[in-house]
């Protein structure tokens, strides 16, 4: 019964995203508008000496930076103990559009990243705010594309309560994983890409679900109207997704950016331990979702749990057949979603790796969901307990 009901919930969930992807594809090309607003790119950086220079170089190479005088880049050094601030300061000395802010302390029970981003936004001047991470590489058209998607409006935006102009544009992020990378890295990169595609599809379908803070844009007016992260500071994760939900709750439209330029490349977890803690951190915010989304995710969780446990309890042909059928449905709808999104974001799919990822997906997600809800995770040198355990 759980397999059948959960399979139906899951299939409807993914098929809705697939419908949103088809809407994006019918737009044919990414929107293009004359960008006249001032833009501030805000980055929170903690101990990113290996990446911060590369990230700033990719942002300084933006087409928008070359053609406009209205691009500002604000780096907030979040108590780094390495050369992150020193490297950023060297860039600031040579590029007047860059600014370095120091966050020297964070109050107890406050998310360091949210505090750093809020500090950066408060010290920026752009009418449009773009968020990205300090370990990302950007297409030269990234800032232009996210801003154009935001300003152009779109029939694929979440309609909210009747507003016309989008207040937020969600982009995409992908892990930098070479073809000869270990199998586990290739599989987790595939899963990460699928999450991004699902996010874009659900936004385009009118039901914003999640987003990625490495590639996110919103208007300052909308950010101020919802109160930024006020009241959300205690949640370590969710600087992106919980903010998006606040926009939705205020009826502010959210749009999905499209085109390869909206995709940023980011550093993947270096090892399995880092991957585990990353996913546990992401999972910790699910406890604070709205009731409707919790219900859907609970259905999907039970579906995954049934799939994960079936190999240990498939003592009857009927149960085995039901599990095989449910897995086949999941495999097909997931595959169709990724194939449909390829013209939009350029993802490549290796069928063998995709099949293996599908087999591992249910048990891994079940384990991470439990850990995220009832465990703890390490992030930037600090161990955090989830709210379910405090």
234 shares its domain with 96: yes
CATH code assigned at 223: 3.90.550.10
Residue 102: inside a domain: yes
What pLDDT is stored for residue 33 in this prediction? 53
User: In the chain, which stretches have pLDDT less than 70?
Assistant: 1-2, 28-36, 65-69, 152-164, 277, 280-289, 313-318, 372-390
| Res 16: pLDDT | 96
d(C-alpha 24, C-alpha 156), whole Å: 7
pLDDT of res. 139: 97
152 and 294 share a domain?
no
Indicate if 219 and 312 belong to the same structural domain.
no
Of 270, 299, 330, which closes a domain?
Answer: 270
Tell me if 90 is assigned to some domain.
yes
Are 105 and 210 part of one and the same domain?
A: yes
Please return the burial class of 231, using the count of CB atoms within 10 Å of its CB with bins 0-12, 13-18 and 19+. exposed
Q: What is the pLDDT of residue 62?
A: 92
Residues 6+ apart with CB under 8 A from 228: 118, 121, 243
- Kindly state whether residue 22 falls inside one of the protein's structural domains: no
Do 316 and 203 lie in one domain? The reply is: no
Question: Is 155 found in the same domain as 48?
Answer: yes
Sign for the pseudo-dihedral over CA of 245, 246, 250, 253: negative
> Are 145 and 190 members of one domain?
yes
Among candidate residues 206, 238, 270, the one where a domain is terminated: 270
Tokens at residue 266, please?
A: 């980011």
Establish if 364 belongs to a structural domain: yes
Q: Is residue 103 part of a domain?
A: yes
Does some domain include residue 282?
A: no
Q: Report yes or no on 277 lying in a domain.
A: no
Domain match, 95 and 171 both: yes
Same domain, 58 and 199: yes
Do 214 and 93 lie in a common domain?
yes
Sheet of 128-133, strand order: 98-103, 71-78, 39-45, 128-133, 216-219, 168-170, 254-256
Measured between alpha carbons, how far is 296 from 6 in angstroms, rounded to an integer?
9
Residue 83 and residue 11 in one domain: no
Q: Tell me if 41 is assigned to some domain.
A: yes
Instruction: Indicate the residue among 239, 270, 301 that finishes a domain.
Output: 270
Domain that holds residue 222: 29-270
Same domain, 255 and 123: yes
Alpha-carbon dihedral angle through residues 154, 160, 165, 170, given to the nearest 10 degrees? -60
Q: How many domains does the chain have?
A: 2
């Amino acid at each position: 019964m759980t397999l059948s009901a959960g399979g139906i919930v899951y299939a409807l969930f993914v098929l809705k995203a697939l419908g949103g992807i088809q809407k994006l594809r019918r737009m044919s090309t990414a929107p293009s508008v004359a960008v006249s607003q001032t833009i501030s790119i805000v980055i929170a950086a903690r101990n990113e000496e290996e990446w911060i220079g590369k990230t700033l170089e990719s942002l300084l190479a933006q087409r928008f930076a070359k053609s406009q005088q209205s691009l500002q880049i604000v780096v907030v050094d979040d108590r780094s103990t390495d050369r992150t601030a020193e490297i950023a300061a060297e860039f600031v000395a040579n590029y007047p559009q860059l600014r370095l802010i120091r966050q020297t302390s964070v109050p107890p029970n406050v998310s360091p990243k949210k505090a750093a981003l809020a500090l950066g936004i408060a010290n920026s001047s752009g009418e449009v705010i773009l968020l990205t991470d300090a370990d990302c590489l950007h297409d030269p058209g990234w800032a232009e594309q996210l801003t154009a998607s935001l300003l152009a409006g779109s029939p694929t935006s979440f309609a909210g309560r009747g507003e016309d102009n989008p207040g937020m544009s969600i982009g995409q992020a992908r892990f930098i994983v070479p073809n000869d990378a270990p199998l586990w890295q290739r599989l987790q990169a595939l899963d990460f890409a699928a999450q991004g595609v699902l996010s874009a599809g659900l936004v385009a379908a009118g039901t914003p679900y999640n987003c990625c803070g490495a590639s996110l844009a919103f208007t300052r007016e909308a950010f101020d109207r919802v109160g930024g992260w006020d009241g959300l500071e205690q949640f370590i994760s969710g600087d992106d997704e919980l903010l998006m939900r606040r926009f939705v709750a205020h009826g502010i439209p959210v749009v999905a950016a499209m085109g390869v330029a909206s995709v940023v490349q980011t550093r993947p977890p270096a090892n399995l331990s880092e991957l585990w803690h990353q996913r546990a951190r992401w999972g910790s915010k699910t406890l604070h979702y709205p009731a409707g989304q919790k219900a859907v995710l609970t259905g999907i969780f039970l579906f995954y749990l049934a799939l994960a446990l079936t190999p240990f309890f498939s003592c009857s042909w009927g149960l085995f057949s039901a599990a095989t059928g449910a897995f086949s449905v999941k495999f097909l709808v997931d595959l169709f979603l990724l194939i449909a999104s390829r013209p939009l974001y350029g993802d490549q799919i290796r069928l063998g790796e995709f099949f293996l990822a599908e087999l591992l997906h249910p048990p891994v997600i079940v384990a991470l969901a439990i850990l995220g809800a009832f465990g703890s995770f390490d992030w930037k040198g600090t161990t955090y307990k989830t709210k379910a355990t405090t």
